[in-house]
């Protein structure tokens, strides 16, 4: 993996009988930030991760820290100013934590650029710039023969995401109980606490913060209906120098650029999981785009996925008494994960937070639900096309159930039942990673059906 760093070693702990004050599920930027803000509260806090901390989506991010996030302010309309203020606050919090805790995470102040390659989008760039300036931000012109229009801001940053998380976990080690390799399978309300059913046994907690990226429960939030998943492909290669800027365009074909030392990190080919489901081909396209634009063969290639709410705002807050969540950051979770840590800790500690109602996960609106039906329709269409292809893998239907049979490069046969245990979506083969991916909610399984990424909580069935 490109972002690679050693985390402090975490001793193996036994379950505790006592009721925890706070259980945090997930050791990415959201979970660790929440723990960080609670660390001096004298509460008994435990953080659970199904694997090692820091190895989820945050380990595959491009780690830009900026409030210039596509043309989001136009899209948010009357909600733009409040969202802008939240991002500014999150950036200053990140800087404050890094300085206070002396975390060496290669933080660098860089220009952040928004641009378009399409004539039709020039007016959107102009409008976004007007909006950013109306928030009293200084902007500057970006002129380059390769782009149609662009502007920049200079109060943006980039860093090494795992050095940051590793630094946070060092600060937390003496204050938080870490349970690594502990999958939380279920949460149940019982009297005035929750029971967490985990692979290590049951735990009790008065407050639970769900920071596991994709919440693994359907109720009480109907989360899958209000969100979709977007996937993006990242290619990295040495280019000999650091150009000290980050950039992103607003066109449907994504180009995201930042530098780390003398490496160029390029994100591209972003799509909804339910569309473009020939995942192997998407990888190939992203690699060939990299060669086309930068004339280099990528040294590192990976894909990563993030959650988007249909109204474009994250879900951060209380969903049920003493049950909290932070997710759906739309590809901007370095700021929003930090913000979630602040909001969730304030709610747990009964402190005022100016943004808590703005991001409330209980908000309801027509736009939150209506788009989900379009997604399902599109998925069914492309999925039917994929199933008709008769090659490796082969699909067979037995007693109405579809099985997939795949022959790997060593001629070994793998068989799985094609149904995702989470919400019964049919899985799609990812020929690049040789995995089975759920196009609806993002769960991933290896060739033999072993769970790699949730929200699913169990392996695939393989027997006929
Ligand atoms: C390609 C790409 C580029 C991006 N670039 C940027 C960027 O430049 N700037 C930016 O601000 N954002 C960016 N983002 C978004 C950002 O990286 C994510 O939003 C953020 O990292 C999500 O953090 P998280 O803590 O919510 O999730 P994660 O980092 O995934 O952490 C969740 C943790 O929960 C654990 N877990 C899951 N289920 C369970 C369970 N049942 N029990 C126990 N543990 C569990 C997982 O193992 C994982 O460690 C990017 C996203 C993508 C996809």
* pLDDT tens per residue, range 157-205: 999 999 999 999 999 999 999 999 999 999 999 989 999 999 999 999 9
Provide the residue ranges of all domains of the chain, joining segments of one domain with +: 20-348, 389-453
Confidence of residue 371 (pLDDT cuts 50, 70, 90): low
Q: Which numbered atom of ligand 1 lies nearest the CA of 340? A: 26
Q: Distance, CA 332 to ligand 1 centroid (Å)?
A: 10
**Residues recorded for the chain:** 464
20-348: which CATH number, 3.30.1330.10, 3.40.91.50, 3.50.50.60, 1.10.3720.10?
3.50.50.60
Residue holding tokens 């699913």? Answer: 456
pLDDT digits (tens, 9 = 90+) for 429-463: 888 888 999 888 889 999 999 999 888 988 998 87
- In this prediction, residues 15-38 reach a mean pLDDT of 96
Ligand 1 pocket, 48 CB below 6 A?
yes
Give percent of the chain with pLDDT exceeding 70: 94
How far does residue 53's CA lie from ligand 1's centre (Å)? 11
Ligand 1 proximity of 7 Cβ (cutoff 6 Å): no
Q: Write the CA distances from 239 to 142, 201, 246, 259, 288, integer angstroms.
A: 22, 49, 15, 9, 17
The Cβ of residue 265 has, within 10 Å, a number of other Cβ atoms equal to: 22
Give the per-residue pLDDT at 3. Answer: 96
Q: Could you give the maximum distance between any two Cα atoms of the chain, in Å?
A: 65
Determine if the pTM surpasses 0.95.
no
For the Cβ of 314 lying below 6 angstroms from any atom of ligand 1, the answer is: no
Q: 56 CB under 6 A from ligand 1?
A: yes
389-453 matches 20-348 in CATH topology: no
CATH superfamily of 389-453: Rieske [2Fe-2S] iron-sulphur domain (2.102.10.10)
Strands (E), 80-172: 108-116, 140-141, 149-158
Whose Cα sits closest to atom 21 in ligand 1? 58
Does the pLDDT at position 406 exceed 80? yes
CA 462, CA 396: separation in Å to the nearest integer? Answer: 13
State mean pLDDT over 16-40.
97
What is residue 109's predicted lDDT score, i.e. its pLDDT? 98
> Quick one: how far is CA 243 from the chain centroid?
26
Cβ 51 under 6 angstroms from ligand 1? yes
How far apart CA 313 and CA 329 sit, in angstroms, is: 7
Q: How far is the CA of 213 from the centre of ligand 1 (A)?
A: 6
**CB of 306 shorter than 6 A to ligand 1:** yes
pLDDT for 220? 61
Q: Which of 68-72, 380-384, 433-437 has the lowest mean pLDDT?
A: 380-384
Residue 164 C-alpha to ligand 1 middle, in angstroms? 14
pLDDT value at 375 more than 70: no
User: Facing residues of 303 across strands?
Assistant: 233
Q: Give the model confidence (pLDDT) of 301-333 as tens digits.
A: 999 999 999 999 999 999 999 999 999 999 999
The answer to whether residue 343 scores a pLDDT higher than 60 is yes
Cα 331 to middle of ligand 1, angstroms: 9
In this structure, the residue with its CA closest to atom 33 of ligand 1 is 26
Q: What pLDDT is recorded for position 219? A: 63
Alpha-carbon Rg for the chain in angstroms = 22
pLDDT of 291 above 90: yes
Going from the Cα of 421 to the center of ligand 1, the distance in angstroms, rounded, reads 22
With a 6 Å cutoff on the Cβ, whether 283 touches ligand 1 is no
State the pLDDT confidence band at 238, using cuts at 50, 70 and 90: very high
The predicted pLDDT at position 54 comes to: 96
CA torsion through residues 172, 173, 177, 182, sign: positive
How much is the mean pLDDT over the chain? Answer: 91
- Lookup result for tokens 């703005």: 358
Range in 268-282, 306-320, 404-418 the model is least confident about: 268-282
* pLDDT value of position 275: 76
- Is 34 close to ligand 1, i.e. is its CB under 6 Å away? no
> Between the ranges 45-54, 266-275, 363-372, 410-419, where is the mean pLDDT highest?
45-54
- Per mean pLDDT, which range of 114-118, 219-223, 261-265 is the poorest? 219-223
pLDDT classification of 383: cutoffs 50, 70, 90: low
Residue 382 has pLDDT above 90, yes or no: no
Of 66-80, 108-122, 392-406, the range with the lowest mean pLDDT is 392-406
Q: Which residues contact 288 (CB under 8 A, 6 or more apart)?
A: none
Please determine, for residue 216, whether its predicted confidence score (pLDDT) is greater than 80.
no
């Amino acid at each position: 993996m490109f972002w690679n760093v050693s985390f402090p070693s975490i001793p193996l702990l036994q379950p505790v009988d006592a009721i925890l004050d706070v259980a945090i599920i997930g050791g990415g930027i959201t979970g660790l930030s929440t723990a960080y803000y609670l660390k001096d509260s004298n509460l008994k806090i435990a953080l659970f991760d199904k694997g090692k901390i820091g190895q989820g989506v945050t380990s595959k991010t491009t780690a830009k820290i900026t409030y210039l996030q596509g043309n989001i302010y136009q899209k948010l309309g009357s909600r733009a100013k409040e969202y802008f203020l939240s991002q500014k606050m999150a950036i200053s919090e990140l800087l404050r934590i890094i300085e206070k805790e002396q975390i060496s995470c290669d933080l660098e102040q860089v220009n952040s650029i928004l641009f378009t390659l399409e004539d039709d989008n020039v007016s959107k760039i102009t409008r976004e710039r007007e909006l950013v300036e109306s928030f009293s931000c200084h902007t500057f012109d970006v002129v380059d023969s390769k782009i149609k229009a662009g502007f920049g801001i200079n109060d943006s940053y980039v860093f090494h995401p795992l050095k940051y998380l590793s630094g946070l976990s060092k600060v937390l080690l003496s204050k938080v109980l870490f349970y690594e390799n502990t999958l939380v399978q279920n949460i149940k309300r019982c009297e005035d606490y929750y029971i967490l059913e985990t692979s290590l046994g049951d735990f009790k907690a008065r407050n639970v913060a769900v920071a596991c990226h994709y919440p693994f429960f359907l109720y009480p939030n109907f989360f899958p209906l209000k969100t979709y998943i977007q996937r993006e492909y990242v290619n990295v290669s040495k280019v000999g120098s650091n150009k000290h800027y980050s950039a992103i365009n607003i066109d449907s074909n994504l180009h995201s650029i930042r530098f780390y030392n003398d490496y160029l990190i390029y994100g591209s080919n972003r799509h909804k999981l339910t569309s473009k489901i020939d995942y192997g081909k998407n990888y190939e396209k992203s690699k060939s785009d990299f060669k086309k634009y930068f004339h280099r063969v990528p040294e590192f290639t990976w894909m990563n996925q993030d959650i988007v709410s249909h109204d474009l705002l994250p879900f951060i807050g209380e969903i049920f008494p003493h049950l909290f969540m932070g997710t759906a950051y739309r590809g901007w979770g370095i700021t929003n994960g930090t913000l979630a840590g602040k909001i969730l800790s304030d709610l747990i500690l009964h402190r005022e937070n100016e943004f808590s109602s703005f991001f409330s996960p209980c908000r309801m609106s027509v736009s939150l639900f209506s788009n989900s039906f379009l997604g399902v329709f599109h998925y069914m269409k492309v999925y039917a096309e994929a199933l008709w292809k008769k090659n490796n893998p082969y699909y067979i239907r037995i007693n109405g159930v579809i099985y997939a049979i795949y022959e790997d490069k060593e001629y070994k046969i793998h068989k799985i039942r094609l149904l995702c245990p989470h919400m019964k979506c049919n899985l799609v083969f990812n020929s690049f990673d040789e995995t089975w991916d759920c196009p609806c909610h993002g769960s991933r399984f290896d060739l033999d059906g072993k769970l790699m990424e949730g929200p699913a909580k169990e392996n695939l069935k393989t027997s006929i």
